[in-house]
Each structure stands twice: as C-alpha cells, then as structure tokens.
Amino acid sequence: MSNKDKIFHVSINLFSKYGYDGVSVRKIANEVGIRESSIYNHYKSKEAILDNILDYYIMQMLSEDIPIEQASANLDISFDYFYQAGLNAFASQLKDDKMSKITRIILIESYHNDKIKKFMKKSIIDDAIDGWIRLFELMKFKKLIIADVDSKQLAESFYKYGLFLLYEHYIINYPEDDDEFVEGLCEKSKNHIELIFNSVRR
C-alpha cells in the first residue's frame, strides 16, 4: 500500500474515532509511520484529506446506485423485488468498514463542520430525497400508488426514518455491532417502506 493510501485509511480511522478537529496532521503521520512533512507530499492540508474521503464516499455510493431504467424494470417484477434490490445495494456499502466509518465521520461532524454540513445537506439528504421523489412519481406513472399523493412527503417520510436509524447507531448507541445494526436496519427499513407503500397503493 502506498503512503498516500495509508494516510487515507489512517485518517478515516482517526477521524471516526476522535473527530476531525481532534486529529492533527502530526497524529496522522505518527500512525502511518512517516514524518509530518511527508504528509504534504500527498495532500496539501488536512482538509484535502477530508475532501478525498468525501469524494470517495460519494463515488462508492453512486457505484451501487440503481439507474431509473433498471428501477422501472424491477418495479415491473414486483414492488418487493424493486425495494430489495435497492436495500441490498445500500446494505453492502454499510457492511464495508471504510464506508461505515466515513458515515460516522459525516454524522458526528455535520453539526459544527460547515463543509460536512453542506455535503450532508446536498449529497446525503437533498439528492437522495430527490431520487426517491422520482421513484414515487414512477410508481404513480405505473399506477402502483394513488395519483394525488404528495411524492415529496412520501420520500421524506421514508428516507428520514432511515437517517434517524443511522444517527441512532453511529451517535446515540455508538459503539455497537455494525453487522447486527445493518441486519436490523434492513428489517426495519423494509417494514417501514411496506407500511408507506401499502398506505398509498392502488
């Protein structure tokens, strides 16, 4: 593993444990086993490391994103098949140790770090809810749910419940077993979306 990769992985571990402000460049260098000045051969600042971590997070999440055309085809099979495919993709990311730790970094830093606050609002909340709005609109088009229901309210009702479960795990109940959490998250999310879907299905 290159020194740049070591810096990346060590920073994720340290930021998730101590918080972004609680970790110095010197501490990162000590954990990697290099001189502090060597960090700057790879990253111009600690903030640049954070930027790289956030870019990696979005890239990984998008790699599991299901295109709207595929989502449409999945809905044609069944609602359960459609949702399970999306849930499996999301769960696979949370089961990854790096992605799990980055999720914790985002949640613990979002209340006071402006960069992460903006990142969370746009990339984690707004973009995701917009995606769910499109999916509920697709369900209307396919006449799976009633036409006059508010797609935005449906999207927010579903997605923000999942966000609360993440917050509960990574903040309130931390530390607890990640694998058990993901299993519980999948079960609770599945029950929740079925409750929402059944309340508006045609």
pLDDT at 72: 94
pLDDT at 115: 93
pLDDT at 63: 87
Q: Which two tokens stand for residue 64?
A: 């599991």
pLDDT in tens, the chain (202 residues): 899 999 999 999 999 999 999 999 999 999 999 999 999 999 999 999 999 999 999 999 988 888 889 999 999 999 999 999 999 988 999 999 999 999 999 999 999 999 999 999 999 999 999 999 999 999 999 999 999 999 999 999 999 999 999 999 999 998 888 899 999 999 999 999 999 999 999 9
Q: State the Cα–Cα distance between residues 45 and 43, nearest whole angstrom.
A: 5
pLDDT at 176: 86
Q: State the Cα–Cα distance between residues 150 and 64, nearest whole angstrom.
A: 27
The CATH code of domain 1-46 reads 1.10.10.60
The CATH code of domain 64-200 reads 1.10.357
The residues spanned by each domain of the chain are 1-46, 64-200
